[in-house]
């Protein structure tokens, strides 16, 4: 019998369901702790980025073309 103490945190369950919905059933089943660690790492990296005032702005400099000379 699963107790509340053994239950996964809701956020882990959400990401597991999203992974399964994306077709990553085997990853979600076999490598769940690694998947959750990857999600946590991605969240930390996202939070480390600066906030953009203009959500359509690119967070990197625009590309420039070479001159034909």
pLDDT at residue 63, as a whole number: 73
Helix then strand then coil, % of the chain, to nearest 5: 50, 0, 50
Cα–Cα dist 10/60, whole Å: 34
Cα–Cα dist 40/45, whole Å: 9
Cβ neighbors of 20 (< 8 A, separation 6 or more) are: 28
Instruction: Scan for tokens 């625009």, then name that residue.
Output: 62
pTM for the complete prediction? 0.52
Query: pLDDT (tens digit, 9 = 90+) per residue, 2-45?
Result: 444 555 666 678 888 888 898 888 888 898 888 888 888 888 88
Which tokens hold the place of 13? Answer: 């369950």
3-7, 50-54, 61-65: least confidently modelled range: 3-7
């Amino acid at each position: 019998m699963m107790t509340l103490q053994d239950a996964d945190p809701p956020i882990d369950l959400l990401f597991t369901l999203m992974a399964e919905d994306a077709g990553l059933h085997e990853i979600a089943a076999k490598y769940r702790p690694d998947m959750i660690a990857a999600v946590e790492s991605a969240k930390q990296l996202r939070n480390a980025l600066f906030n953009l005032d203009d959500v359509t702005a690119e967070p990197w400099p625009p590309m420039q073309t070479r001159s034909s000379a």
